[in-house]
Amino acid sequence: MKSHAKVVVIGGGVVGCSVLFHLARHGWTDVVLLERDELTSGSTWHAAGGMHTINGDPNVAKLQKYTISLYKEIEELSGQATGVHLTGGVLLAATEARLDWLRGVVAKGRYLGIELEEISANEAAELMPLLDPKQFVGAVRNKEDGHLDPSGVTHAYAKAARKLGAEVERFTKVEDIVRRPDGMWRVITNKGEVVAEHVVNAGGLWAREVGRMVGLELPVLAMEHMYLITEDMPEVAAWNAKTGTEIIHAVDFDGELYLRQERGGMLMGTYEKANKVWSEFQTPWNFGHELLEPDIDRIAPSLEVGFRHFPAFERTGIKQIINGPFTFAPDGNPLVGPVRGLPGFWVACGVMAGFSQGGGVGLALSNWMIEGDPGADIWAMDVARYGDWATMAYTNAKVRENYSRRFSIRFPNEELPAGRLLKTTPIYDLLSAKGAQWGVSYGLEVPLWYAPAGVKDEFSWRRSSDFSHVANEVATVRESVGMAEISNFAKYKMTGEGAAAWLDRIFACKLPKPGRMTLAPMLKDDGKLIGDFTLANIGDGEWFIAGSGIAEQYHMRWFEAHLPADSSVRLEALGQKLTGLAIAGPKARDVLAKVSRADVSNAGFPFMAVAKMDIGTAPCLVGRVSYTGDLGYEIWVAPEYQRAAFRALMAAGEEFGLGLFGSRALNALRLEKNYGSWAREYRPVYGPLEAGLDRFVAYGKDADFIGKTGALAERKQGGKLRLRTFILDADDADVIGDEPIWYDGAVRGWVTSGGYAHHSKKSVAIGYVPKEIADKSDGFEIEVLGKRHAARVQAAPLFDANFERMRA
């Protein structure tokens, strides 16, 4: 075994071997994979081997499509058979709500290049003869589903990597990982030590244990997962003889089942409600090519549905039940990327769908390590989407919930209960008493809307029970004054003699003067967006930054990676050390003036001003800015003072008709102003010109800000896309994101977000289209729940197009 390597990959499952292959294919051949046993010894060897392109996140779906397309290449390069069977498949709907969801899947496929087709239940039965069409209301045909040989694929990756110059060390157990003072990593094994510049934790079932070696507690947990293999079935033999083909895959969402042919019989797997955690706290190092004891009673309810939906199974014996552990993250997506605070330490774990996602994970991680960027939008897989709040107990609760709901519908207005009331603000009880209906953001409870007694969300793809109540909240803001809690924003404090120079380099905007704020795009090296913030110059060398709450860990990783080494900049993520309230509407100034001695007149406190002032008895930081697009103020206050500030504002606002509003009303309000948001309109694959943020980029400032060359190139060349707002002739459902945008009979773009703008009484969608058609006003259609609706570009904001209210 070599003593030095550029990269050490820990774990010889399909993910680790994929990472090794992709690194070698990209030219990094001084790489070695360490496996404590034989390759495939964790979850890989007993996997059912299914592969599919469908994923709830379209960017992950793209990587799954890539993974499937890769198998031919690695088979040819390695000489190792992968056993790939591209049979195609059907996704089955037993309810109309499920069929609506599948129509959304078909729509996503249109702009992802995934060929999907809605078919009837009878047509599905013609393709998959074991199902009873009377049990279903419809289906979707997918031609890219299939299955493979898990061991063959893993060894194909490994052999291909070896041919490219990489090394594989089996029966080499990593016992510790130590960072040296020079930043290199000592990987200590039972066979000696390897010093490496980079370490990749692809430990699978042992990812937690590998993480703990460097002081990291990863939010992953293993679950027992069962599937059965039947005896030979005459129906299978008859179909094979008649058509010369295998029986295609089927996913029965409402039965929580997946099925495929296995030799002369069938394989049926289930994600049962009565799930079971495996090795909750510590994965035993001596676990290997072993299976767990089957528990058919636990999956019996799912099997009963399966036998009803697929009657041939009732007449067939069970040959084998496979029960083995697989690891999951709380939301079911992988954990991929560099770890904040541990330069050179990377993770590629929690990849429960390894044969659908393993290739994409390997591609993204190798790009990231070599080029400094994953080369794709992988936010849904980024390890930085979780923070320290994702404790072991939280992970346990969410993984159990996710497993039991793997095939369940998640409606756009549905909030899931597991792991809840993890983080709350000091006014949680006060808002609950006002009827707050709660959601969660980055572990924090956030008010979505306010319901009268006896009213709650009715989950639906269409406008639901909150519709009229959100409309009332919007009306309160537009007609008088509303107040919202905004503690879910990320907040950062920056000081130090080097702070201004550093900010001038990290942000693309012109720095504000003392007492002023500005919108601050942040760019990657290639000129694409990596963040959008509000930057405030408090004065006396103190700076305040507000940004997307869900991206706090993501942005801190970027900030810290670019901090100067001389300690001239001090940066702190404030988290819930600072809470927030916002007031907005034509009467907002009247309320603020009543609770503060400061001069908050338009002359004394103009648009984009910021100052410290008391709200009642509470010391606060107040900025004159509002995401509602109306006259408004954001008020930042230490948690011990939030109740006092809230009560003062509520009392002062009573005579002006102040009411509370939640994030759903805020969404409706910002749509009327064509405002985008991080992780929707603003993502690391769009440039500032494409995203409409170029007016905030100070191309001519002296500072050589990060991404300046790329941004100037985009400006010169014009980019490829443009972000546009559309008004569509909707029925009783609005866009939620990821719907295709049609133009002239073809899919040309996609929706990033949208909803109903209650004040303007319009259904609004925001999305990207090619720049060549971006300035066409008509001729667009947007597909919602399988139906195309006429849409028109709304160039000027629906509300206050001249920004008079905001600046008044």
Give the integer Cα–Cα distance in Å for 551 and 573. Answer: 11
Give the integer Cα–Cα distance in Å for 258 and 273. Answer: 15
Give the integer Cα–Cα distance in Å for 313 and 648. Answer: 67
Which helix (H) or strand (E) segment is 71 a member of? Answer: helix 58-78
Please give the structure tokens belonging to residue 56.
Answer: 């709830």
Answer whether 693's CB lies under 8 Å from 517's CB.
no
Concatenated DSSP letters for 277-312? EESSS---TT--S--PPP-HHHHHHHHHHHHHHSGG
Calculate the CA 798 to chain-centre distance: 29
What confidence score (pLDDT) does residue 721 get?
A: 98
What confidence score (pLDDT) does residue 55 get?
A: 87
Please give the structure tokens belonging to residue 513.
Answer: 């003067």
Which amino acid, 699?
Answer: Y
Place of tokens 């078919």: 119
Question: Which of 349, 384, 95 has the alpha carbon at shortest distance from 201?
Answer: 349
Give the integer Cα–Cα distance in Å for 249 and 242. Answer: 18
Place of tokens 């001249």: 802
Which amino acid, 645?
Answer: A
Give the integer Cα–Cα distance in Å for 522 and 502. Answer: 12
Q: Indicate the burial class of 188 (C-beta count within 10 angstroms; 0-12, 13-18, 19 or more).
A: middle
Give the integer Cα–Cα distance in Å for 131 and 137. Answer: 12
Please give the structure tokens belonging to residue 569.
Answer: 């900049």
| CB-based contacts of 615, cutoff 8 Å, min separation 6 | 592, 595, 596, 622, 635, 637, 644, 645, 648, 649
Partners of residue 42 on adjacent β-strands: none
Q: Tens of pLDDT along 529-585?
A: 999 999 999 999 999 999 999 999 999 999 999 999 999 999 999 999 999 999 999
- Name residues of the chain where pLDDT drops below 50: none
What confidence score (pLDDT) does residue 777 get?
A: 87
Query: Is residue 364 helix, strand or coil?
Result: helix
Task: Specify the DSSP class assigned to residue 553.
Answer: H
Question: Which of 19, 153, 18 has the alpha carbon at shortest distance from 84?
Answer: 153
End-to-end Cα, the chain, rounded Å: 71
What confidence score (pLDDT) does residue 54 get?
A: 86
Question: Which of 310, 350, 325, 413 has the alpha carbon at shortest distance from 210?
Answer: 350
Give the integer Cα–Cα distance in Å for 93 and 136. Answer: 6
Cβ count within 10 A of residue 672: 25
What confidence score (pLDDT) does residue 289 get?
A: 86
Concatenated DSSP letters for 207-257? HHHHHHTTT-----EEEEEEEEEEPP-HHHHHHHHHHSSPPPEEEEGGGTE
CA dihedral of 479, 412, 355, 295, whole degrees rounded to 10: 140
What confidence score (pLDDT) does residue 515 get?
A: 98
- Backbone torsions φ then ψ of 728, nearest 5 degrees: -120, 150
Place of tokens 């001729």: 779
Alpha helices in 598-730 (DSSP H): 639-653, 663-671, 708-717
Give the integer Cα–Cα distance in Å for 577 and 491. Answer: 9
Answer whether 633's CB lies under 8 Å from 658's CB.
no
State the SS3 of 144-162: CCEECCHHHHHHHHHHHHH
State the SS3 of 740-792: EEEECCEEEEEEEEEEEECCCCEEEEEEEEECCCCCCCCCEEEEECCEEEEEE
Give the integer Cα–Cα distance in Å for 461 and 734. Answer: 8
Give the integer Cα–Cα distance in Å for 754 and 757. Answer: 9
Which amino acid, 416?
Answer: L
Task: Specify the DSSP class assigned to residue 465.
Answer: T
Place of tokens 């019996």: 300
Alpha-carbon distance values, 695 to 689, 691, 798 (Å): 8, 10, 20
Q: Indicate the burial class of 540 (C-beta count within 10 angstroms; 0-12, 13-18, 19 or more).
A: exposed
- Backbone torsions φ then ψ of 590, nearest 5 degrees: -60, -40
Which helix (H) or strand (E) segment is 556 a member of? Answer: helix 552-561
Answer whether 354's CB lies under 8 Å from 362's CB.
no
User: What does the buried/exposed string (b/e) look like for 125-151 if buried means 16 or more CB atoms within 10 Å of the residue's CB?
Assistant: bebbbbbebebbbbbbbbebbbbbbbb
Q: Tens of pLDDT along 278-330?
A: 999 999 999 988 999 999 999 999 999 999 999 999 999 999 999 999 999 99
Beta pairing, strands 490-495 & 482-485: unpaired
Answer whether 519's CB lies under 8 Å from 534's CB.
yes
Please give the structure tokens belonging to residue 733.
Answer: 């459902």
For 210, half-sphere exposure in the C-beta direction (CA atoms, 13 angstrom radius) is 27
Give the integer Cα–Cα distance in Å for 795 and 615. Answer: 38
| CB-based contacts of 143, cutoff 8 Å, min separation 6 | 86, 88, 115
Give the integer Cα–Cα distance in Å for 748 and 435. Answer: 42
Give the integer Cα–Cα distance in Å for 629 and 144. Answer: 45
pTM for the model: 0.96
Which helix (H) or strand (E) segment is 67 a member of? Answer: helix 58-78
Give the integer Cα–Cα distance in Å for 226 and 256. Answer: 12
Q: Indicate the burial class of 347 (C-beta count within 10 angstroms; 0-12, 13-18, 19 or more).
A: buried
Cβ count within 10 A of residue 779: 14
| CB-based contacts of 37, cutoff 8 Å, min separation 6 | 12, 170, 171, 288, 289
Place of tokens 């969660």: 440
